[in-house]
Amino acid sequence: MNETFSVIARDGAARAGVLRTAHGEVPTPAFMPVGTKGTVKSVDPDELRALGAGIVLGNAYHLHFRPGEELIAELGGLHAFMGWDGPILTDSGGFQVFSLRDTLLEVDDDGVTFRSVYDGAPERFTPEIAARVQERLGSDVAMCLDICLPAGTDRSELEEAVRRTTLWAQQQRDLPRAPGQLRFAITQGGLDGELRRRSSEELVALGFDGYAIGGLSVGEHREPMFDATTEAAAFLPEEKPRYFMGIGDPEGVLEVISRGVDMFDCVLPTRTARTGSALTREGRLNLRNARFARDQRPLEEGCPCPACTRFSRAYVRHLVNQQEILGLRLLSLHNLRFLLDLVAAARRAIERGEFLSWKEEALEGAKGAM
Ligand SMILES: [Zn+2]
């Protein structure tokens, strides 16, 4: 069993598997907490491990500008730098470049020119730079540079994005990698089935270690997005891992798993914490609400996270209202644990062959948590 990825159980289109990386194995489906700037905001690596995180995401765009991949390489690579010895996936920076649309200057067949979000200076990303940054960071999974466009983009522009995304993946494929580093390509095409098929076929023909479904969860309606995910996953090879970029609400996560997705990431658990909200089985709780002032229950009954085992809703509410750092931290720890536990439970349900009925039950309560 030395394959990079094996599927160990299937239930409908949903799969449970194992991704093997240079820094260990990742059971899938896997939720990847986002550590954009080399940290999952306010959570340290031991805490992440204890919460059940098996892989974290870093961001080539931000780390390239601050503090720079050469500095990180000099200090032993991203694992050593951030004190996390488990698997790391790094995003190529394509998503940041194309989502910060007012910083975009020019796109051509060799790369993209944009203004850095840090100091406004003109900068360029090319497949060579994306490969080099991630090679220097030493991540376990590196992503290809791609063109991700917002919902509602017209077809000719989507078609051009698909063409260039393939061209760039081709350029990046054989460039130097960190030892054992896997490389995933990203399919594009928005909600257009024909373009998604073309993108998938072209990238699969080039041959990568895994494939991401990009260009969804970019502002379209949920139902067409889920339908497009079903299609996009089916265009990808059975034996390779599939990564849906940017989904982290309880319903979304379970929907993409049911459509054959193995990995996903989102800032939602920590971003939700920063707005003072907790994810629970009964929905999202806004701790700023006065009704929690005397509530002695934990955020979620039975949750084994550091917040729920020691503190009341009333106390967390007080911390949030006073903008105490501990309030943000407790909510981040709880929200990450909630999502990681949900995905671990999904995996067990797939193994038992009961995923669909389990999912319906789980979503009954979680609907309000979207
Ligand atoms: Zn908790």
For 113-171, write each residue's pLDDT tens digit: 999 999 999 999 999 999 999 999 999 999 999 999 999 999 999 999 999 999 999 99
What's the average model confidence in pLDDT over 46-59? 98
Q: How confident is the model over 233-272, as pLDDT tens digits?
A: 999 999 999 999 999 999 999 999 999 999 999 999 999 9
State the catalytic residue, choosing from 91, 140, 192, 262.
91
Q: How confident is the model at residue 59 (pLDDT cuts 50, 70, 90)?
A: very high
Determine contact, residues 247/343, Cβ cutoff 8 Å. no
Is 209 annotated in the active site? Answer: no
Tell me the pLDDT of the chain averaged across its residues.
96
pLDDT value at position 367?
59
Find the 319 Cα to ligand 1 centroid distance in Å.
16
- 104-108, strands of its sheet edge to edge: 104-108, 111-115, 122-125
Find the 139 Cα to ligand 1 centroid distance in Å.
30
Find the 89 Cα to ligand 1 centroid distance in Å.
26
Find the 209 Cα to ligand 1 centroid distance in Å.
35
Q: Residue 307 — φ and ψ, nearest 5°?
A: -75, -45
Cβ neighbours of residue 364 closer than 8 Å, sequence gap 6 or more: none
Cβ neighbours of residue 210 closer than 8 Å, sequence gap 6 or more: 4, 5, 19, 141, 182, 184, 240, 241, 242, 243, 263
Determine contact, residues 99/62, Cβ cutoff 8 Å. no
Determine contact, residues 160/109, Cβ cutoff 8 Å. no
* Crossing angle (nearest 10°) for helices 355-366 and 250-258: 160
Q: How confident is the model over 75-121, as pLDDT tens digits?
A: 999 999 999 999 999 999 999 999 988 999 999 999 999 999 999 99
Find the 280 Cα to ligand 1 centroid distance in Å.
8
Find the 333 Cα to ligand 1 centroid distance in Å.
7
pLDDT value at position 369?
47
Strand 277-280 to 283-286 pairing: antiparallel
Is 11 annotated in the active site? Answer: no
pLDDT value at position 132?
98
Find the 230 Cα to ligand 1 centroid distance in Å.
32
Determine contact, residues 147/94, Cβ cutoff 8 Å. yes
Given a cut of 90, whether residue 364 has pLDDT beyond it is no
Determine contact, residues 18/55, Cβ cutoff 8 Å. no
Find the 330 Cα to ligand 1 centroid distance in Å.
8
Find the 341 Cα to ligand 1 centroid distance in Å.
10
pLDDT value at position 370?
44
pLDDT value at position 81?
98
Q: How confident is the model over 263-280, as pLDDT tens digits?
A: 999 999 999 999 999 999
State the catalytic residue, choosing from 11, 140, 262, 265.
265
- 14-21, strands of its sheet edge to edge: 5-11, 14-21, 24-28
Q: Which pTM was predicted?
A: 0.97
